[in-house]
Amino acid sequence: MHHSSASNRDAKRKSIEMLDRVGIPQPDQRINDFPHQFSGGMRQRAMIAMGLINDPSLLIADEPTTALDVTVQAQILDLLRELQREFNSAVIIITHDLGVIAEMADDVLVMYAGRCVEYGTAKEILTHPEMPYTWGLLSSVPDVTASTDARLIPIPGTPPSLLNPPTGCAFHPRCAHREKVPGDLCFTELPELSAAKGNAAHVKRCHLPDPDAIYRADVLPEIAPDLVKDNR
């Protein structure tokens, strides 16, 4: 009602329609329920209904599938995709889940310590990533086809404090590839965003002189094949 001239009655009618549209059963009764009376998936559907009710040109979905089991996760992603087409809204999905990105995104912006560290089309980022933090994210995705004694490869350390960020590249305390950069650039100089090899639409923030060679030799074998199937 704050964003439109809808009356009380119109707002309620539209809310019931939206709950129905996002798949809440008996929406005319459920509209009176409290959040704790909904399951996690239904709460997420209600949030999507709230986000879309005033026809926004941009919907920001912050971790829309966190804490949902995989079946409900897939339903929520299907719903987001369907509604995106129907409402013609752009959608920004904020997520740590590269599986979600592989399924949903056209473009990907990878952030670390409050800065963009890599940006490009989803295909480019998933098949030719050029930044060690992106490599770490991709390597730490579980691979269902791996043997049962295969261990996950986590990114070592913890995210830095933004009150006292590291000097140079903010990722350097956790980066396994910093020794491949000549001199002490990683420790002293913040890399600028620069075009990745042969593709001006793909940018990365890293001092490595030939990231593609390191990626193919050292990183690609660690990544779940489903994520990067076009590149093997």
Which residues make Cβ contacts (< 8 Å) with residue 134, sequence separation at least 6? 110, 117, 118, 125, 204
At its nearest, how many Å lie between ligand SF4 and the CB of residue 218?
12
At its nearest, how many Å lie between ligand SF4 and the CB of residue 133?
6
The residue from 76, 104, 208, 219 that contacts ligand SF4 (CB under 6 A) is 208
Q: Which residue, 41 or 191, is less far from ligand SF4 as judged by CB? A: 191
What the block records as the tokens of 134 is 């992106």
At its nearest, how many Å lie between ligand SF4 and the CB of residue 100?
24
Contact region with ligand SF4 (CB under 6 A), list: 40-48, 67-75, 167-175, 217-225 = 167-175
Confirm or reject binding of residue 98 to ligand SF4 (CB under 6 A): no
**Whole-number Å distance between alpha carbons of 176 and 133:** 10
At its nearest, how many Å lie between ligand SF4 and the CB of residue 202?
15
Confirm or reject binding of residue 118 to ligand SF4 (CB under 6 A): no
The DSSP element (H or E) to which 134 belongs, if any, is helix 132-139
Q: Which residue, 28 or 157, is less far from ligand SF4 as judged by CB? A: 157
At its nearest, how many Å lie between ligand SF4 and the CB of residue 95?
21
What is the DSSP annotation of 87-130? HT-EEEEE-S-HHHHHHH-SEEEEEETTEEEEEEEHHHHHHS--
Confirm or reject binding of residue 137 to ligand SF4 (CB under 6 A): no
Phi and psi at residue 92, to the nearest 5°: -105, 120
The DSSP element (H or E) to which 53 belongs, if any, is none
Q: Which residue, 67 or 116, is less far from ligand SF4 as judged by CB? A: 116
**Whole-number Å distance between alpha carbons of 25 and 16:** 10
Q: Which residue, 91 or 206, is less far from ligand SF4 as judged by CB? A: 206
Confirm or reject binding of residue 191 to ligand SF4 (CB under 6 A): yes
**Whole-number Å distance between alpha carbons of 47 and 69:** 17
Confirm or reject binding of residue 132 to ligand SF4 (CB under 6 A): yes
Confirm or reject binding of residue 177 to ligand SF4 (CB under 6 A): yes
Torsion of CA 174, 178, 184, 188, to 10 degrees: -40
Q: Which residue, 105 or 186, is less far from ligand SF4 as judged by CB? A: 186
Tell me the one-letter amino acid at 18.
M
